[in-house]
Copies of this chain bind each other. A is one copy, B any other.
């Protein structure tokens, strides 16, 4: 019986060590590499062709989200399990969209990691039980409005504290245009003033 080959990517040595220890306690797992960033990860995938890559989401330079995307493209047979802290849950939807097969929290214990690996290896989707709860919150998070590029641009400038006329000057468009974008933002976020807008935008990590 072949062991499942696993590669772990995280920029925190501590987490890397912890994963190593935990994974070494699982009999059917073989660690084929530990990467500190996406570059190392890609190299190690090439060299060792693991079955599963467990990757942190927030990493400097290339994020886990982008890494997942790369892996999907270049090594579609490799499964990806995303890993994050509790307060980064908002990335779940984006991660799954990008082709992640599983999602665990860094607070996961050995049992859960084991289960995640088995589930994913079977071709199924694994979601940490801690993430499944709270449908309401889940919905809210995934309910990030789809903004056009121009709207995002305007939103950022609004968050910086610029007024419509100032933004118009920066973007070389009419203040009326900026006002339209602003109104659309208010509608899309379903709020009725700037305060609510910025709060939600911040919540969704857009500012």
> Which A residues from 80 to 136 make CB contacts under 8 A with B?
85, 87, 105-110
CB pair B106–A14 under 8 Å, yes or no, is yes
Contacting residues, chain B, for A161 (C-beta < 8 A):
191-193, 195-196, 199
Could you say which interface size class chain A belongs to?
35 or more
Name the residue of chain B whose CB is nearest to the CB of A22: B17
Contacting residues, chain B, for A76 (C-beta < 8 A):
none
Contacting residues, chain B, for A85 (C-beta < 8 A):
12, 85
* Identical chains bound together, number: 2
Contacting residues, chain B, for A21 (C-beta < 8 A):
17-18, 20-21
Q: Is A19 an interface residue (CB 8 A)?
A: yes
Q: Give 1 or 0 for each of A169-207: 1 = CB within 8 Å of chain B CB.
A: 000000000000000000000011111111100100001
Smallest distance from the beta carbon of A148 to chain B beta carbons, Å?
19
Contacting residues, chain B, for A4 (C-beta < 8 A):
none
Which one of B18, B160, B162, B196 contacts A13 once the chains associate, using CB atoms below 8 Å?
A: B18
User: Could you tell me the distance between the alpha carbons of A13 and B20 in the complex, rounded to whole angstroms?
Assistant: 12
Smallest distance from the beta carbon of A129 to chain B beta carbons, Å?
15
Q: Is A159 an interface residue (CB 8 A)?
A: yes
Smallest distance from the beta carbon of A103 to chain B beta carbons, Å?
15
Contacting residues, chain B, for A138 (C-beta < 8 A):
none
Q: Given contacts A21-B20, A87-B58, are A13 and B107 in contact (CB under 8 A)? A: yes
Name the residue of chain B whose CB is nearest to the CB of A203: B202
Q: Given contacts A13-B109, A107-B11, are A158 and B22 in contact (CB under 8 A)? A: no
Name the residue of chain B whose CB is nearest to the CB of A16: B18
Q: Is A15 an interface residue (CB 8 A)?
A: yes
CB pair B160–A195 under 8 Å, yes or no, is yes
Q: Is A163 an interface residue (CB 8 A)?
A: yes
Contacting residues, chain B, for A109 (C-beta < 8 A):
13
Sample of 13 A–B contacts (CB below 8 Å): A12-B18, A13-B107, A14-B108, A15-B106, A17-B18, A17-B19, A18-B21, A21-B21, A85-B85, A158-B195, A161-B192, A161-B193, A202-B202
